[in-house]
Amino acid sequence: MGCHAPWCWVCPAMLKPAWPPTPGWTVNGTPASRSCSAARRRTAWGDRVQTALSPELRLLTQAASPVATSGGQAHAHARKLDWDVVLRQARRHRMGPLLSRHLETAGLDIPSAVVAELADDRLRTAARNLRLLASSRAIVAALDQAGVTVMALKGVALLEETYDDLSLRPMVDLDFLVPEASIQRAEDLVVALGFGSARPRVEGFVGPRAGKYAYPQLTSADGLVHVDLHRHVLPDAGFDIAEYWAHARPSQVGAHLLPDHEDLLVHLAAHFFKDRVRRSAGSLGQLADIAWMAHVRPPDWDVVVARARQYGLHGRVFLALMATNELLGPIVPPEVLAALRPASYSPSVGRAFLKRRLLADAPWHPSGYFVGVPGEAYSPRWRPLRRILPDRAYLEAGYGSHTGPGSSYGRLLWVRGRQALGKLRPWHLYRDAQLNRWMRAVAEEGTTRAPV
């Protein structure tokens, strides 16, 4: 057809784009701006998947977006809003504070109880963040005094540079990246500040934990602050973390380092993908982080693409950026999505990913469901069947309230089976398996086939 656009809808053979592109975003010598109209339609918004949203979810996506408009068309379905559903979904997606700010100018008739609950949520977020940031300063000061280099990740970095109000971005814990040679020393210093470790102590010190990307979580004496010390930013990333350290920059408010802006964006996107393997909760809040970061301080998108490919994360990053554009608005340039797009991606698989892994309330069957569980929680005698025949302690903890004290193992198992059968959907199980397989292929950069 005479078209050289590698992502064209109508070309019989889809060419794989070369990287890095030549200046001006050219492909095989043809400027992207000259691609045929079909190719432009394909790359625009990263292959729009036309996801249908309920009025409640639409309101949350508007609250999450830094580019969404309020009033008029944006709230055409306002009268149909179920505010109980809005609040439940806001809690589920970690969107209460942003929703509160959005509704201040939305011009909606909002029940006073909803306004009060969102205001309380925002106050709680501010109070918790103040507590976490105070602990962060104490930890960084202790590590700096001991000569241990530390880099703040995710929430701390976002509150420092992206959000103009610390009540807008809830934090659950503190994440720090520490060099491999210093991580044991760093944990000892944090423990000396009064934090407790879940790991057993050997001769007064916590023992080593080789091979893991993060040490077990440390918790303050009052149980309010949780700290994760990381030796890497992702559990299964294949790139050398020394590259991440090489791009780091000093913080303007403390002795810690911050990730390079483009590295942080890649990390947030890859972490979003990791969380979608097992849960949809928090997904809109994570997309809001990506959207607001890119909006407040636009990154060098050429560097984002180059880093994502250098780290072997371009498929994961694509899915996060595609979801950002699809749900929150045109944040990411279409040519960036085209450069990151996995070979097997299609609008149909995009719809399945958004519907099942971001917007669905019901749990799904994650990859490794029948084998990827803690061995200590299930009977070691029947380990191949530990999902089907867990031990008595596990059953009593989960189903004892339904059967009463002293119930037999058979009775507990029967109640568990009855509840499981009520939720079993063979078609969903099949589709989950297909989607899991495709996501695993994206993560392994061996994407060759999209699920049916």
pLDDT digits (tens, 9 = 90+) for 428-442: 778 888 888 888 888
- Whether 415 shows a pLDDT value over 50: the answer reads yes
What's the burial of 452, exposed, middle or buried (CB within 10 Å: 0-12/13-18/19+)? exposed
- Residue count of the chain: 452
- Indicate if the pLDDT at residue 377 is higher than 60: no
The mean pLDDT of the chain is 79
Q: Say whether pLDDT at 73 is over 70.
A: no
Q: Are 140 and 150 in contact (CB under 8 A)?
A: yes
Whether 397 has a pLDDT exceeding 70, the answer reads: yes
Q: Which are the contacts of 295, defined by CB distance < 8 A and separation ≥ 6?
A: 66, 67, 331
Helix (H) or strand (E) holding 258: strand 257-258
State yes or no: pLDDT of 396 exceeds 50.
yes
Report pLDDT for 200: 56
Which amino acid type is present at position 56? E
- pLDDT, average across residues 377-394: 59
List the structure tokens of 90. 């806001």
Write out pLDDT tens, residues 84-128.
999 999 999 999 999 999 998 887 889 999 999 999 999 999 999
The confidence band for 378, taking pLDDT boundaries of 50, 70 and 90, is very low
**What confidence category does residue 244 fall into, taking pLDDT thresholds of 50, 70 and 90?**
very high
CA-CA distance, 10 to 36, in Å (whole number)? 10
Q: Mean pLDDT over residues 385-399, rounded?
A: 73
> What pLDDT, on a 0 to 100 scale, did the predictor assign at position 418?
78
Please determine, for residue 270, whether its predicted confidence score (pLDDT) is greater than 80: yes
Q: H/E element holding 142?
A: helix 112-145
Rounded mean pLDDT, 399-425: 77
With contact defined as beta carbons under 8 Å apart, do 107 and 69 qualify? no
Mean pLDDT of 358-374: 61
Selection from 205, 272, 203, 197 nearest residue 227 by Cα: 197
SS3 call for 329 = coil
Domain boundaries, the chain: 1-46, 55-359, 375-443
Rounded CA separation 90/317 (Å): 24
Decide if pLDDT at 294 tops 80: yes
Query: What pLDDT is attached to residue 323?
Result: 96
- State the CB neighbour count (10 A cutoff) for residue 142: 16
What pLDDT, on the 0 to 100 scale, is given for residue 40? 40
Q: At what angle do helices 426-443 and 314-328 cross, to 10 degrees?
A: 120
* Token pair belonging to 63: 């609250």
Contact 141, 157 (CB under 8 A): no
HEC readout, 353-403: HHHHHHHCCCCCCCCCCCCCCCHHHCCCCCHHHCCCCCCHHHHHHHHHHHH
Q: Could you give the CA distance from residue 451 to residue 436 in angstroms, rounded to a whole number?
A: 9
pLDDT tens-place string over residues 197-233? 866 555 444 444 555 677 788 999 999 999 999 999 9
pLDDT band at residue 78 under the 50/70/90 scheme? low
- Give long-range contacts, CB 8 A cutoff, 24+ apart: 196-204: 196/220, 196/221
Poorest-pLDDT segment among 25-39, 178-192, 272-286, 427-441: 25-39
